[in-house]
Homo-oligomer: A and B are copies of this chain.
């Protein structure tokens, strides 16, 4: 398995849980912290907790100009000032996955401006997408955002704008986990 990461609900870890909100569909169990670590393979979760898996991979929709803008402006995870994180696992509907590439792209960008909206919040909000669907996971993606406390309000506006898009009408399960880095 390549670029595989495990996100595990734990009692104590680098990322302390501030809240776990089920936005749509089945919730995730409450945990006190989330541990994020590279994984070699998929293992059963411990009783009473959960582990979600995802893989870093190539972007599926970004066009050349968008990719160039992202690469020029985005910052990596792990910045010292980025003490807040949001882990938002998402599952899209069968209707989404039955669409052709051009239809998904049109909804993702031409209609929903997913990349264009995200670019407005760079470099403040660092972002990493982990792919889960081909792993047979309960979610299709784990989205991970990191930002400084001063940028928390901007991050809420980013999220609100994305959730209001046409693309989000294909989201059938979403949980919003907010985290604070242990310092």
Contacts and interface: CB of A to CB of B under 8 A. Distances in A.
Contact of A131 (B99, B100, B134): B134
B100 A64 contact: yes
A112 interface: no
Interface residues of A, number: 29
Interface stretch (A10-18, A26-34, A54-62, A72-80): A54-62
Interface in A101-128: 101-103, 105
A102 B137 CA distance: 28
A92 to B, nearest CB: 11
Given A3-B136, A63-B101, A64-B102, 10 more contacts: A1-B134, A1-B135, A1-B136, A2-B134, A2-B137, A59-B100, A60-B60, A60-B101, A64-B100, A134-B134
Interface string A118-157: 0000000000000101111100000000000000000000
